[in-house]
């Protein structure tokens, strides 16, 4: 009897201590995205809880990026203790830092002897740091990539995918008319031209692959000859060369582009890295026929990919910061980052995964990704980026819709942005 009594006593005590422990370490992380994505995070969170005895809760956010930001902005602006942790699209980070919502990682990095060398230095410096203070860490990265139909290039006698935009036009001119005879919906090159954030990414790639840019030497300077040539080329793709379809500027977002390419309606595709896995799925008509490489560029310039991806941040108003930091370390650990790659096919934020020889053998495209990460361009890191993006989207889209001329579009954009700067860059 005594044994049973003491057993019960021990059980009760341990039960209560667990209770106390878990209420103390109650914290939340907010993550949204596709159901597959959120399910993956749910499994990571439960692994973490089981291993460390924490009680981290995953709160599911909407699928759409804008709606995810909206939820975070409202909670953080009202200084709520939840969420403790969240994922941020790379373009939000600057606004979040400047709004004073993010907890600097510096004290935690020092305390836990965390090494930041495992990340791409250029990416940390341009997006995760402000004035040398670290506020966020990349969980997974994304870049714009160039997909092409190996079989079609071969059929028409091209040994290599186009390196420059001129080559792309030449190849399309040869292949498209012939293929169009059998398939009315066939087009040369599909990319994201609808009026949304993706358009800014594509626009940035076009202009940067001609040596242009949006933010140059700390100032927004859009009305340049390099940018003009690139924007004119985007316009020409639709109207002059007719190798991009007329719904480019109305409907073409990531998924529309992917579906068109995947159903065999295009030779070339600009898309994010996620498209690869879907193109290779069992019921995909282009399975095994797709090649992957860096985006073309203008003559005498280099390939450039817009940097995307999601970074983890900690709220300044969090009441469980030490525990939250534990999770950040967990998420950026080699083990979890590898799972990210193998289970959901995302590109880890950690650099060392890309040189893992075993993984490289299994997933040869890591080499191209690594190459692309070295040639990334970030969208302007300014706190009023949403407003800037809206202006760029509107004028570039107007230009692609053939309503305004490229030169006028850039001029108007610049005027508009000057007005924005006057208000938002003030103290």
**Which residues lie near another protein (CB under 8 A)?**
66, 69-70, 73, 77, 95, 98-101, 185, 194-196, 245-247, 249-251, 260, 383-384, 386-387, 390, 394-395, 397-398, 401, 403, 419, 423-424, 426-427
CB 424 within 8 A of CB 418: no
Which residue number, 96 or 274, has a Cβ lying nearer to another protein? 96
Virtual torsion, Cα 418, 69, 206, 364, nearest 10 deg: 150
- For the bound state, the minimum distance from the C-beta of residue 250 to another protein, rounded and expressed in Å, comes to 4
CA atoms within 13 A on the CB side of 9: 6
- For the bound state, the minimum distance from the C-beta of residue 23 to another protein, rounded and expressed in Å, comes to 32
What three-state secondary structure class fits 33?
Answer: coil
CB 295 within 8 A of CB 209: yes
CB 83 within 8 A of CB 30: yes
- For the bound state, the minimum distance from the C-beta of residue 31 to another protein, rounded and expressed in Å, comes to 19
Closest by CA to 388, choosing from 247, 215, 143, is 215
∠228-230-235 over CA atoms, to 5°?
A: 95
- For the bound state, the minimum distance from the C-beta of residue 426 to another protein, rounded and expressed in Å, comes to 7
- How far apart, in whole angstroms, are the C-alpha atoms of residue 240 and residue 233? 9
- How far apart, in whole angstroms, are the C-alpha atoms of residue 200 and residue 178? 32
Which residue number, 99 or 116, has a Cβ lying nearer to another protein? 99
User: Residue holding tokens 């582009």?
Assistant: 257
The first and second tokens of residue 400, run together, are: 């692609």
- How far apart, in whole angstroms, are the C-alpha atoms of residue 359 and residue 337? 12
- How far apart, in whole angstroms, are the C-alpha atoms of residue 414 and residue 73? 28
User: Residue holding tokens 């938002």?
Assistant: 424
- For the bound state, the minimum distance from the C-beta of residue 390 to another protein, rounded and expressed in Å, comes to 6
Which residue number, 82 or 190, has a Cβ lying nearer to another protein? 190
User: Residue holding tokens 């860096």?
Assistant: 294
What three-state secondary structure class fits 127?
Answer: helix
Which residue number, 171 or 187, has a Cβ lying nearer to another protein? 187
Which residue number, 344 or 401, has a Cβ lying nearer to another protein? 401
What b/e readout covers 191-214, taking b as 16+ CB neighbours within 10 angstroms? bbbbbbbbbbbbbbbbbbbbbbbb
- For the bound state, the minimum distance from the C-beta of residue 180 to another protein, rounded and expressed in Å, comes to 12
- For the bound state, the minimum distance from the C-beta of residue 67 to another protein, rounded and expressed in Å, comes to 8
- How far apart, in whole angstroms, are the C-alpha atoms of residue 231 and residue 260? 23
- For the bound state, the minimum distance from the C-beta of residue 177 to another protein, rounded and expressed in Å, comes to 15
| Kind of pairing between the strands at 55-60 and 26-31 | parallel
The first and second tokens of residue 297, run together, are: 């560029």
- For the bound state, the minimum distance from the C-beta of residue 77 to another protein, rounded and expressed in Å, comes to 6
Which residue number, 278 or 401, has a Cβ lying nearer to another protein? 401
- For the bound state, the minimum distance from the C-beta of residue 279 to another protein, rounded and expressed in Å, comes to 18
């Amino acid at each position: 009897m005594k044994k049973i009594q003491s057993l019960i006593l021990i059980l009760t005590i341990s039960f209560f201590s667990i209770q106390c422990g878990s209420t103390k370490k109650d914290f939340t992380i907010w993550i949204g995205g596709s159901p597959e994505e959120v399910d993956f995070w749910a499994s990571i969170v439960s692994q973490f809880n089981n291993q460390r005895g924490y009680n981290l809760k995953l709160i599911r956010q909407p699928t759409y990026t804008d709606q995810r930001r909206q939820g975070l902005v409202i909670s953080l602006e009202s200084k709520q203790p939840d969420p403790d942790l969240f994922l941020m699209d790379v373009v939000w980070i600057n606004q979040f830092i400047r709004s004073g919502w993010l907890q600097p990682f510096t004290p935690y990095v020092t305390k836990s002897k965390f090494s930041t060398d495992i990340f791409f230095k250029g990416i940390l410096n341009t997006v995760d740091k402000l004035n040398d203070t670290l506020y966020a860490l990349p969980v997974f990265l994304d870049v714009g990539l160039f997909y092409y139909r190996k079989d079609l290039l071969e059929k028409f006698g091209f040994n290599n995918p186009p390196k420059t935009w001129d080559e792309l036009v030449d190849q399309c001119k040869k292949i498209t008319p012939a293929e169009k005879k059998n398939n009315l919906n066939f087009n040369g090159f599909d990319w994201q031209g609808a009026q949304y954030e993706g358009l800014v990414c594509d626009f940035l790639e076009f202009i940067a692959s001609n040596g242009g840019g949006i933010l140059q030497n700390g100032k927004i300077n859009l009305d340049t000859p390099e940018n003009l040539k690139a924007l004119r080329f985007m316009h020409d793709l639709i109207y002059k060369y007719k190798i991009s379809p007329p719904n480019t500027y109305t409907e073409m977002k990531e998924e529309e582009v992917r579906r068109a390419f995947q159903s065999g309606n295009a030779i070339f595709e600009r898309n994010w890295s996620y498209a690869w896995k879907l193109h290779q799925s069992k019921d995909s008509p282009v399975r095994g026929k797709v090649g992957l490489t860096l985006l073309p560029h203008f003559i005498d310039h280099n390939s450039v990919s817009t940097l995307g991806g999601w970074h983890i941040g900690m709220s300044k108003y969090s009441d469980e910061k030490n525990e939250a930091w534990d999770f950040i370390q967990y998420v950026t650990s080699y083990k979890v980052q590898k799972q990210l790659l193998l289970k959901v096919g995302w590109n880890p934020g950690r650099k060392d995964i890309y040189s893992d020889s075993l993984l490289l053998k299994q997933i040869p495209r890591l080499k191209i990704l690594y190459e692309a990460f070295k040639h990334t361009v970030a969208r302007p890191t300014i706190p009023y980026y949403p407003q800037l993006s809206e202006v760029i989207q509107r004028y570039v889209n107007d230009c692609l819709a053939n309503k305004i001329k490229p030169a006028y579009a850039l001029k108007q954009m610049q005027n508009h942005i000057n007005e924005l700067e006057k208000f938002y860059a003030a103290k």
